[in-house]
């Protein structure tokens, strides 16, 4: 991660939410600027270089998506996380997410917000083309699509491998169920059942079942985190 | 109904316009017939007079005054000429011959055509005559009574006037009656509607059993009312269920928080409580977003994301995803069918809907049973996704209810799930124009989603559009205009 580039612009008109956003991002080590309306957001967004910009979909003056478009037209390529209270069915958010940047629907957990901001911030850094990923004694061969722990091969289905790869790439960071659905299955809705937990449970049995220490950890109420002991 | 109401009604106004137009046409026609008949009769009469005048002049030229006098006297005595009137006078207008005894006093000239009342005769009939003065000063008058002609024309005129008056009167009465009938039916419907709006939805608009268009209007309004009543009942049921499903976790949370509030602070216990509360709140939020999601799908806010999707691929992904859940329960999940079967739709929604069906099948099937998911072509060029289990199934009587929001078979509502799954499936099916069927699998239950034929069968777009391609979200309308866009 490019150090010194942990500057974030938060665009949010609700004071309470804005305060919580600033607090949780500051606690994660980001430097945060706050804009309470669309025109401030444009001024700030154009004047300095941010790692990530989070924009509320509904602002008192200019629509959040219009703010994003205007920034893009001015040549600002900073990743934008759109926060919408309209729900995942909000058509324009659907259009937006197809455009590549991320979205989050209110209400959300701050752990999830930070996780998504982290993911976007990393995206603006250099992309490393590895062929093998490591986490503790887990090794993922991205070419042959095989996983092993301690040299012992783990039999995984293609989708299971993808899930594990996503967890490993986000090692040490919390990944929500919605993020898993989004990145592993390309689905954009909150599952109403516990199916992701069941699926991760099976992957976990295969990966951690007979090992010395577990790698996949449950983060209560949010999702999962892959973490190797130091 | 009051007369003023009748007169104000649009039906009556239309009838008046029709009567006016029709009346004007009839009036023109009748006037034309009358005028041409009258002038024809008059010209015939004038022709006869002229011819007679001519004959008599010739006789005068030939035989002089005495000859003419003889002819006139012969004519008068001939009953064929009883309608004709003659008078021959000398230059001082003294009587020479004829059946008129004196020259009419009120004539201006003694040449040409004149109309006058016959002097010295009983009834003084109206005459029309041609006058002639001979070179020696004698005057000849030849005329005919035109009282009959006038009476004839008058009769025609009277017949026409009465006829037209009668037509207007009848049309007026008819339009008042028709208007009253129409306005009466509308008013009956209005009265019933007002009563329904004011008090209760169980009232219905009365039918007359005539099976006419008014009965059909009433029938349609009644079935609309049936639908509204059902919806209202559903809304009430849903509200009750929402209240139950949201209140239960909220009450639990409130209780726990209240207890914790009065207790001494204890780091670990507080931590656990806060964790529990977050999980509970997430549960409540999930119910909320399910409700709004279904509502939004039903409001058809979603078609923007429609494109050609491969349901075989979606379905096999679902089978792979849910295999873990089936395994946990000891059940076997199979996918049967082709590898490629395309429909027009929204991948997320189809995934969610079919996922719900599979989830239900696993949950409600036998613990070690089989769940089969099948994708096949339907007879009409569409596609079928079927999800079948071999569990206990659902009694036929309950089949229609399962799609209702928050409906659950166990009335106690104890098991996990919010009863929204199948109403989501139904909403997604409706949005896709798909038909949903629930069949007895003997044993077990089989759901079938019958999709209509793909709108763009030639399209080779993959189910998975390249990410980051916003232009792939094309409105179906736009596509219909330009199908080549995607091929």
Q: Considering only the beta carbons, identify the residue of B278, B293, B301 that sits closest to A91.
A: B301
Residues B311, B323: Cα–Cα separation, whole Å: 18
Q: What is the pLDDT of residue B124?
A: 80
User: Where among B265, B281, B298 does a domain terminate?
Assistant: B298
Note whether B275 and B329 are same-domain residues. no
Question: CATH 1.10.10.10 region(s) of chain A?
Answer: 132-226
pLDDT at residue B458 greater than cutoff 80: no
Taking an 8 Å cut-off on Cβ atoms, the answer to whether A185 and B290 are in contact is no
Nearest partner of A120 among A193, A12, A28, judged by Cα: A28
pLDDT band with cut points at 50, 70 and 90 for residue A224: very high
pLDDT band with cut points at 50, 70 and 90 for residue B300: low
Contacts of B473 in chain A (CB under 8 A): 94-95, 98
Q: What is the pLDDT of residue A200?
A: 93
Q: Give the alpha-carbon dihedral of B104, B107, B113, B114, to 10 degrees.
A: -70
Query: Which tops the pLDDT comparison, A2 or A95?
Result: A95
Taking an 8 Å cut-off on Cβ atoms, the answer to whether B325 and A199 are in contact is yes
Average pLDDT over residues A2-22: 83
Question: CATH 3.40.50.2300 region(s) of chain A?
Answer: 7-123
B83-140 residue pLDDT tens: 888 888 888 888 888 888 888 877 767 788 888 888 777 778 888 888 888 888 888 8
A111-146 residue pLDDT tens: 888 888 888 887 655 556 678 888 888 999 988 999
Taking an 8 Å cut-off on Cβ atoms, the answer to whether B418 and A189 are in contact is no
Taking an 8 Å cut-off on Cβ atoms, the answer to whether A190 and B464 are in contact is no
Contacts of A87 in chain B (CB under 8 A): 289, 292-293, 296
Taking an 8 Å cut-off on Cβ atoms, the answer to whether A201 and B328 are in contact is yes
Residue B201 lies in a domain: no
Nearest partner of B120 among B143, B133, B97, B104, judged by Cα: B104
B36-88 residue pLDDT tens: 988 898 898 899 999 988 988 888 888 888 888 888 888 888 888 878 888 88
Average pLDDT, whole number, for chain B? 81
Residue B189 lies in a domain: no
Q: Partners of B131 in the beta sheet?
A: B112, B141
Taking an 8 Å cut-off on Cβ atoms, the answer to whether B292 and A89 are in contact is yes
Q: pLDDT above 70 covers what percent of chain B?
A: 87
User: Where among B262, B283, B298 does a domain terminate?
Assistant: B298
Probe site for chain B from A109, A198, A203 (most B CB atoms < 10 A): A198
pTM: 0.61
Phi first, then psi: what are they for A189, rounded to 5°?
Answer: -155, 160
Q: Considering only the beta carbons, identify the residue of B286, B325, B470 that sits closest to A192.
A: B286
Q: pLDDT above 90 covers what percent of chain B?
A: 10
What one-character DSSP code corresponds to residue B402?
G
b/e per residue B433-469 (b: at least 16 CB within 10 A): ebebebeebeebbbbbbbbbebbbeebebebebeeee
Strand B370-377 versus strand B342-345 pairing type = unpaired
Contacts of B351 in chain A (CB under 8 A): 185, 187
pLDDT at residue B472 greater than cutoff 70: no
Q: What is the pLDDT of residue B358?
A: 93
Contacts of A80 in chain B (CB under 8 A): none
> For residue B469, what is the domain's CATH number?
3.30.565.10
B323-330 contacts at long range (C-beta below 8 A, 24 or more positions apart): B324/A195, B324/A198, B324/A199, B324/A201, B324/A202, B325/A195, B325/A198, B325/A199, B325/B359, B325/B362, B326/B362, B326/B371, B327/A202, B328/A198, B328/A201, B329/B362, B329/B363, B329/B367, B330/B367, B330/B368
Average pLDDT over residues B168-193: 86
Contacts of B347 in chain A (CB under 8 A): 186-187
Q: Considering only the beta carbons, identify the residue of A98, A159, A192 that sits closest to B290.
A: A192
Note whether B482 and B375 are same-domain residues. yes
Contacts of B468 in chain A (CB under 8 A): 98-100
Probe site for chain A from B268, B314, B317, B321 (most A CB atoms < 10 A): B321
Task: Tell me which residues of chain A have a C-beta less than 8 Å from any C-beta of chain B.
Answer: 87-89, 91, 94-96, 98-100, 105, 107, 109, 157, 159, 185-193, 195, 198-199, 201-202, 220-221
Note whether B74 and B108 are same-domain residues. yes
> For residue B267, what is the domain's CATH number?
1.10.287
Label residue B93 left, alpha or beta by phi (over 0 means left) and psi (-120 to 50 means alpha): left
pLDDT band with cut points at 50, 70 and 90 for residue B484: very low
Query: Which tops the pLDDT comparison, B201 or A137?
Result: A137
Burial of B318 (0-12, 13-18, 19+ CB in 10 A): buried
Note whether B292 and B376 are same-domain residues. no
Phi first, then psi: what are they for B87, rounded to 5°?
Answer: -155, 125
Q: Considering only the beta carbons, identify the residue of A98, A107, A193 that sits closest to B472.
A: A98
Query: How far is C-alpha A24 from the chain's CA centre?
Result: 15
Average pLDDT over residues B164-188: 87
Contacts of B317 in chain A (CB under 8 A): 159, 185
Q: Which domain holds residue B396?
A: 303-486
Average pLDDT over residues B374-385: 90
Q: What is the pLDDT of residue B117?
A: 84
Place of tokens 């339009």: B175
CATH of A7-123, one of 3.40.50.2300, 3.40.50.620, 3.75.10.10, 3.40.30.10: 3.40.50.2300
Q: Which residues make Cβ contacts (< 8 Å) with residue B484, sequence separation at least 6?
A: none
Note whether B100 and B114 are same-domain residues. yes
Residues B437, B378: Cα–Cα separation, whole Å: 13
Q: What is the pLDDT of residue B417?
A: 54
Q: Considering only the beta carbons, identify the residue of A89, A201, A220 that sits closest to B301.
A: A89
How far does the CA of residue A203 sit from the closest CA of chain B (Å)?
Answer: 9
Taking an 8 Å cut-off on Cβ atoms, the answer to whether A190 and B301 are in contact is no
Residue B360 lies in a domain: yes
Note whether B311 and B283 are same-domain residues. no
User: Where among B125, B151, B177 does a domain terminate?
Assistant: B151
Contacts of A105 in chain B (CB under 8 A): 289
Domain count, chain B: 3
Q: pLDDT above 70 covers what percent of chain A?
A: 88
Is residue A152 helix, strand or coil? strand
Contacts of A199 in chain B (CB under 8 A): 321, 324-325
CATH code, A132-226: 1.10.10.10
Taking an 8 Å cut-off on Cβ atoms, the answer to whether B356 and A199 are in contact is no
Q: Which residues make Cβ contacts (< 8 Å) with residue A230, sequence separation at least 6?
A: none
């Amino acid at each position: 991660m490019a150090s010194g580039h942990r500057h974030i612009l938060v665009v949010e008109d609700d004071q309470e939410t804005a305060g919580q956003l600033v607090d949780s991002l500051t606690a994660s080590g980001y430097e945060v600027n706050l804009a309470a309306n669309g025109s401030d957001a444009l001024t700030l967004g154009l004047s300095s270089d941010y790692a990530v910009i989070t924009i509320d979909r509904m602002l008192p003056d200019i629509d959040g998506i219009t703010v994003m478009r205007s920034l893009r037209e001015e040549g600002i390529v900073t990743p934008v996380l759109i926060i919408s209270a309209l729900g995942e069915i909000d058509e324009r958010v659907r259009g937006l997410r197809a455009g590549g940047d991320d979205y989050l629907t209110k209400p959300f957990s701050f752990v999830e917000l930070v996780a998504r901001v982290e993911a976007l911030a990393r995206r603006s850094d250099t992309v490393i083309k590895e062929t093998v990923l490591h986490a503790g004694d887990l090794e993922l061969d991205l070419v042959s699509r095989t996983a092993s722990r301690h040299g012992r091969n783990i039999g995984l289905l293609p989708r299971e491998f993808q899930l594990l790869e996503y967890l490993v790439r986000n090692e040490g960071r919390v990944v929500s169920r919605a993020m898993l659905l989004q990145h592993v299955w390309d689905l954009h809705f909150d599952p109403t059942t516990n199916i992701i937990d069941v699926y991760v449970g099976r992957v976990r049995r295969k990966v951690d079942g007979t090992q010395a220490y577990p790698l996949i950890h449950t983060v209560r109420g949010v999702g999962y985190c892959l973490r190797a002991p130091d | 109904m009051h007369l003023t109401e009748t007169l104000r009604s649009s039906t009556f106004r239309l009838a008046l316009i029709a009567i006016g137009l029709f009346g004007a046409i009839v009036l023109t026609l009748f006037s034309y017939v009358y005028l041409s008949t009258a002038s024809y009769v008059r010209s015939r009469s004038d022709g006869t007079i002229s011819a007679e005048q001519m004959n008599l002049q010739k006789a005068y030229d030939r035989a002089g005054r005495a000859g003419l006098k003889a002819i006139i006297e012969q004519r008068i005595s001939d009953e064929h000429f009883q309608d004709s009137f003659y008078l021959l006078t000398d230059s001082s207008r003294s009587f020479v011959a004829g059946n008129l005894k004196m020259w009419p006093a009120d004539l201006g000239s003694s040449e040409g055509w004149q109309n006058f009342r016959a002097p010295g005769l009983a009834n003084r009939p109206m005459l029309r005559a041609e006058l002639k003065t001979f070179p020696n000063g004698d005057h000849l008058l030849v005329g005919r009574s035109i009282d009959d002609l006038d009476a004839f024309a008058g009769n025609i005129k009277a017949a026409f006037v009465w006829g037209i008056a009668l037509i207007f009167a009848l049309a007026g009465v008819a339009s008042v009656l028709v208007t009253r009938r129409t306005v009466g039916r509308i008013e009956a419907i209005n009265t019933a509607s007002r009563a329904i709006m004011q008090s209760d939805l169980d009232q219905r608009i009365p039918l007359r059993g005539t099976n006419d268009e008014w009965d059909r209007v009433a029938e349609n309004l009644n079935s609309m009312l049936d639908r509204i009543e059902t919806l209202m009942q559903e809304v009430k049921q849903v509200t009750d269920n929402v209240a139950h499903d949201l209140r239960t976790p909220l009450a639990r949370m409130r209780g726990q928080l209240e207890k914790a509030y009065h207790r001494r602070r204890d780091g670990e216990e507080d931590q656990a409580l806060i964790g529990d509360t977050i999980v509970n709140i997430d549960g409540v939020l999930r119910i909320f977003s399910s409700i709004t999601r279904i509502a939004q799908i039903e409001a058809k806010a979603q078609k923007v994301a429609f494109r050609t999707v491969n349901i075989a691929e979606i379905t096999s992904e679902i089978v792979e995803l849910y295999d873990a859940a089936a395994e946990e329960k000891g059940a076997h999940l199979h996918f049967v069918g082709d590898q490629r079967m395309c429909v027009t739709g929204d991948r997320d929604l189809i995934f969610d809907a079919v996922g719900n069906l599979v989830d239900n099948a696993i949950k409600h099937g036998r613990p070690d049973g089989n769940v089969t998911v099948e994708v096949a072509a339907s007879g009409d060029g569409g596609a079928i996704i079927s999800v079948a289990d071999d569990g206990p199934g659902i009694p036929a009587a309950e089949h229609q209810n399962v799609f209702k929001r928050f409906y659950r078979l166990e009335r106690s509502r104890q098991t996990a799930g919010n009863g929204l799954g199948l109403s989501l499936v139904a909403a997604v099916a409706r949005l896709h124009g798909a038909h949903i069927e629930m069949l007895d699998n003997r044993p077990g239950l089989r759901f079938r989603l019958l999709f209509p034929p793909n709108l763009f069968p030639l399209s080779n777009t993959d189910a998975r559009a390249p990410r980051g391609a916003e232009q792939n979200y094309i409105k179906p309308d736009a596509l219909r205009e330009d199908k080549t866009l995607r091929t």
